[in-house]
Amino acid sequence: MSVTTEGARRRGAGRGRPLLYTSYAADQAIWNTPAKRVWTLALLVAVLALPFYLDRDLTSLLTTVFVYAIGGIGLNLVTGYAGQVSLGHAFFLGLGAYTAAVFGGEATDDVVGLGLDMAIWLPLAGLVPALVGFAVAPLAARVRGLYLAILTLGLVFIGLHIFNEADSITGGAGVGRAPAEPVLFGVDLTTRFELFGTRVNRDMVYYILCLVVLVVLAVAARNLTRSKWGRAFAAVRDRDVAAEVMGVSLLRTKTLAFTISSFYAGIAGALLSVVVGRISPNTWDLFLSIDFLAVVLIGGVATITGSIMGAAFVVLLPRLVDELSAYLPFISGHTGEGFLSVFQLQTMIFGALIVLFLVLEPRGLYGLWVRVRNYWKAWPFSY
């Protein structure tokens, strides 16, 4: 069909009729209605403008949210979409962080470092874990459920041991090393500079950088899940035997899920190390894996948007509890004394929330959002 037809359609009888699909592409588009397009754009603009109005520590906290979201999306691909419970996510994050540190960090007497540009070390930080994931996947693909959880758990401990022992790469236990240098295309992102009369500091640059990476990776993940491969993931998750009967290769699908998930984890690990500053091998332990599981479970299993919501929740909740503790008498915060410390309270709230979400809203925050949306979408009817 010619271009003129398309123009005529828009002018004639296409506008203001979001349900009138004249092509499959429009029907399947991620932003298939004008309302979705407008709101997504508005949200993006708001998020972009945010660091100019926030304190540095909050900006940095939100940057952590983006990084967690990237890792969360990675875990959601393998656990939420493909249904392969993985406790080994922390290992891949660590792998990504150290790959970045080796290629992008400065060499010192104790640790190796090549000091390459970010344009090189960031992709490598994804690719190296992806390769390791690819190598481990055939093992993982043979087992499922609890056995897979145990297998990936093993990965974390092996990883911890290696990180602790490989002094020249990680700096060794209790010492750690500096992360990769954020030098992008020769521009050092740590220096301050002026933009439109506003001083832009390091945190803001990191913020924008991580946001861009998140948006790119999130859209890529969303597209992956809508593709043939994404549907294969879901088929394997829902019934692996049935999927195999239908011609979906289990080994290939699970391997792909692991590989891509590890890629996302690697990128997240590398960015996290840059945001945090100094990294010690003990960072990449089981608790970090559980943090990401919480991102997936609270955000919503098998949704990309949910992973971002979950990341925001998991990262911001401790800060929120911290702020609130000043008003709660039974909490021993920085000043007073009570029978609970802030950290204990955080842990308890976390545990309670995971239980509540599993029982009440298995689709997580995203499920809540969908409920709210559908309530208004059907207005004034209920269905």
Q: Which residues are at the interface with other proteins (CB under 8 A)?
A: 1-2, 4-5, 8-9, 11-13, 16-17, 19-24, 27, 375, 378-383
Residue pair 306/364 in contact by the 8 Å Cβ criterion: yes
Greatest distance between any 2 Cα atoms in the chain: 74
Taking the complex as a whole, the smallest distance from the CB of residue 36 to other proteins amounts, in Å, to 16
Helix axes 56-75, 286-299, angle to 10 degrees: 80
Instruction: Give 19 or 359: the residue with its C-beta nearer to other proteins.
Output: 19
Neighbouring residues of 155: CB distance < 8 A, sequence distance ≥ 6: 87, 88, 91, 136
Residue 69's closest CA among 196, 221, 171? Answer: 221
Instruction: Give 196 or 381: the residue with its C-beta nearer to other proteins.
Output: 381
Instruction: Give 330 or 375: the residue with its C-beta nearer to other proteins.
Output: 375
Instruction: Give 30 or 251: the residue with its C-beta nearer to other proteins.
Output: 30
Dist. CA 86–CA 373, nearest whole Å: 31
Instruction: Give 150 or 378: the residue with its C-beta nearer to other proteins.
Output: 378
Helix (H) or strand (E) holding 45: helix 34-49
Instruction: Give 7 or 145: the residue with its C-beta nearer to other proteins.
Output: 7
Taking the complex as a whole, the smallest distance from the CB of residue 377 to other proteins amounts, in Å, to 9
Taking the complex as a whole, the smallest distance from the CB of residue 51 to other proteins amounts, in Å, to 34
Taking the complex as a whole, the smallest distance from the CB of residue 39 to other proteins amounts, in Å, to 17
Residue pair 299/308 in contact by the 8 Å Cβ criterion: yes
Q: How many CB atoms lie within 10 A of CB 241?
A: 9
Taking the complex as a whole, the smallest distance from the CB of residue 370 to other proteins amounts, in Å, to 16
Taking the complex as a whole, the smallest distance from the CB of residue 3 to other proteins amounts, in Å, to 9
Please state whether the peptide bond connecting residue 380 to the residue before it is cis, i.e. omega within 30 degrees of 0.
Answer: yes
